[in-house]
Each structure stands twice: as structure tokens, then as C-alpha cells.
Amino acid sequence: MRAAILFGPEDLRVQQVPEPEGEVIVTVEAATTCGTDVKMWRHGHRVLGPYPCPFGHEMAGVRTDTGERVLVSDSVSCGRCPPCRAGRPQICRDPTWVLGGFAERIAAPARALHPIPGGLPAAAAAMAEPLAAALHAVARGTDDADVGILGGGPMGLMIAALLIARGRAVTVAERHPERRRQAEQLGARAVTALDGHALVFEAVGRPEAWTAALRAARPGGVVVLVGGCPPGAEVTLPTGALHYDELELRGAFHHSPSEVDAALAALASGEVDWRVLAGETITLEQLPGALAAPAGGRARKWVVDPQATG
């Protein structure tokens, strides 16, 4: 079968590879790209196996054994480690990562599979993976009505959509005008810089953005750090704001299986309009060029159809 294999930083090749082997084989109908893919492609990532490695973590398709339509979650937690036992599977110490959505077929543990609600297209179902992470980020926040989001990429916009649906006043800070327009279409206020919010989400994934998010929080505020920075990155924190203003910093990583099901339900019910973020459908062969394209302009996720050729 054809698969996009990552051979090293910025070296993604589409090749014929042996059929995958594992518990359940899923024919991939759609795999979406995200900021994490760009980071993985550019810098490598802690969850990638040794090069050359399979690639792609937002995918949906059809089980070859039962014909059921499923989302393939990108991870399965161990169920035994202290975070798993504490009900926090997203920070499992020994997860099994399920990567390789940019391929005609993928092998996955049965526990990674989530049934797709009837009628939801595969491209939309694949987006339940990042939407589940957005739901998790929201759950890590507070009930404050006044929310600032730093970053109007797909993750920032998904968090905005979820909070707006819950009746919160959302301000999105983003330097690209097209993304500001998308945020406004969702019902957010769009600005170029945040200023004093009770709850702030960082959805950029750069150390300077983490610092900016912290400076955008009101005294007593909560900052949820959603964007993963390049490996080894560190930030310098203003001790005054943390101490005298009692700012609270919370990490938000990944999602739980129940959050994946909740995301699928939110997409199927129309609570979140997945079409706002769907970019063009491309082939596996077009994927390396798409990842290398500049990130400016409209926030969108490429939809890879691995069955299409050319």
C-alpha cells in the first residue's frame, strides 16, 4: 500500500510499504493535518518512533473486518500508571501511540476505535481528534465569562467555537487578518493583542506566546497552556505576576477517550461547524508540499484522502 513515511526533519516521502499488521485494520478515508504535524515534520516529536516512521494522527475510515465507520484515536493509555489510575489518561506514563493516518490503511488496537455517529463525513470525524483536545483545554479552564485566546489557528478557533457555544465572551488575538475574520465569523471579538482577561488560552506553541499569554491574564487569572513548544524549549516567567497577582498556569495536553466521543457528538450535532476549518482535499503525494506551505492566511486543515492518487 501507499503511505507517507517520515525519514527525518522535513523529509517526508510517499512510498509503497508492506500492509500494516495489528489488532484491527482500518481503511483510511480521511486524515487531517494539524499544527502538530507541521512541528513533527519540522523538528521531530517525542511521540514519533525512530526514523523512518509512520506519520499522521487525525484519521477516520472503515474497519476492514466489520465495515464499521470509525475514528482511530492516536493513543491508547496503559490504564495502570498513577495518572491513569487518577482518571487522567491524557498524561499516561506509558501510552501506545497510534500514528500512520497518512496511509491507505492503518493497524490499531480495538480500544483506539470510536464509532462515527451516522452521517458524519470522514473528514469531519478525523477532526474530532483535535476537537477533543480543545474540549480538554476548555475543561482545564474555569467558568469565567471573559476569555482571551492567543492564536487564531485551528486549535484557537476550535476552543473559541466551544466557548462561544457555552455563552462566553471570547476575544481571539491573531496577527493574520484572515484568521481574525474567521474568529469574528465564529462570534468572537478579534484583536491583534490580548489585554487583561480572567481566563487566557495559549494556542500558538512558542515560548514567547506562552509569556504573552501570561501577561494577558488579569490578577487572579488562569492561563491554560495548550500549544506545545519545540522540544527543549524553555520560558522565563515574570515572578511578580505569578506571586503578587496569584496567576495560575495550567498545562492542557491531549484528551481522554470520553472527550473524543464528546467531540464526535459535537461535530455530528452541528454544535461545532467543522466546515469552517476544512481546507482542500489533497492526495498523499501532495502532502509534503502542503506541510511546507507557509502557515499564514486562513486557518485550515488539509484533508488527505489516502485512497486518491496523483
Q: Is 78 in the site for Zn ion (CB under 5 A)?
A: yes
Q: Least Å distance between CB 241 and Zn ion?
A: 31
Strand partners, 113: 72
**CA 176 to centroid of chain Cα atoms:** 20
H or E element in which residue 197 lies: strand 197-202
Considering beta carbons, is residue 58 or 259 the nearer one to Zn ion?
Answer: 58
Interface with Zn ion (CB under 5 A), residue total 9
Closest separation in Å from C-beta 35 to Zn ion: 7
Q: Which stretch binds Zn ion (CB under 5 A): 26-34, 111-119, 143-151, 181-189?
A: 26-34
Residue 92 binds Zn ion, judged by CB under 5 A: yes
Tell me how far apart the alpha carbons of residues 143 and 303 are, in angstroms, rounded to a whole number.
Answer: 33
Considering only 82-90, 117-125, 159-167, 219-227, which stretch makes contact with Zn ion by CB under 5 A?
82-90
212: its cell numbers: 504573552
67: left (phi over 0), alpha (psi -120 to 50) or beta: left
| Spatial distance between the Cα atoms of 45 and 229, rounded to a whole number of angstroms | 10
Distance of closest approach, residue 227 Cβ to Zn ion, in angstroms? 12
Which residues, in sequence order, are bridge partners of residue 1? none
**Residue 95 Cβ, how far from Zn ion at the closest point, in Å?**
6
Contact between 149 and Zn ion by CB under 5 A: the answer reads no
Of residues 3, 5, 31, 34, which one binds Zn ion by CB under 5 A?
34
Query: Is residue 53 within a helix (H) or strand (E), and if so which, with residue range?
Result: strand 53-54
Pinpoint the alpha helices (H) of the chain. 35-43, 82-85, 122-126, 128-140, 154-165, 177-186, 207-215, 239-244, 257-269, 287-292
Q: Is position 256 an interface residue for Zn ion (rule: CB under 5 A)? A: no
Residues in 41-70 that interact with Zn ion by CB under 5 A: 58
Residue among 102 and 222 whose Cβ is closer to Zn ion: 102
Crossing angle of helices 128-140 and 154-165, in 10° steps, is: 60
- Determine, following the binding rule CB under 5 A, whether residue 33 of this chain makes contact with Zn ion: no
Residue of 18, 12, 72 lying closest to 40 (CA atoms): 12
- Cβ atoms 155, 203 nearer than 8 A: yes
When asked if residue 130 is in the footprint of Zn ion (CB under 5 A), the reply is yes
User: Could you give the count of Cα atoms lying within 13 Å of 190 in the half-sphere of its Cβ?
Assistant: 19
Nearer to Zn ion, 78 or 290 (CB): 78
Query: Any contact of residue 73 with Zn ion (CB under 5 A)?
Result: no
Among residues 59, 60, 69, 77, the one that binds Zn ion under rule CB under 5 A: 77
CB of 235 to Zn ion, least distance (A): 22
Nearer to Zn ion, 247 or 277 (CB): 277
How far apart are CB 36 and Zn ion at their closest, in Å?
Answer: 4
Q: Which of 6, 30, 31, 36 binds Zn ion (CB under 5 A)?
A: 36
Q: Is 84 in the site for Zn ion (CB under 5 A)?
A: yes
Q: For residue 16, how many other CB atoms are within 10 A of its CB?
A: 7
Chain positions contacting Zn ion, by CB under 5 A = 34, 36, 58, 77-78, 81, 84, 92, 130
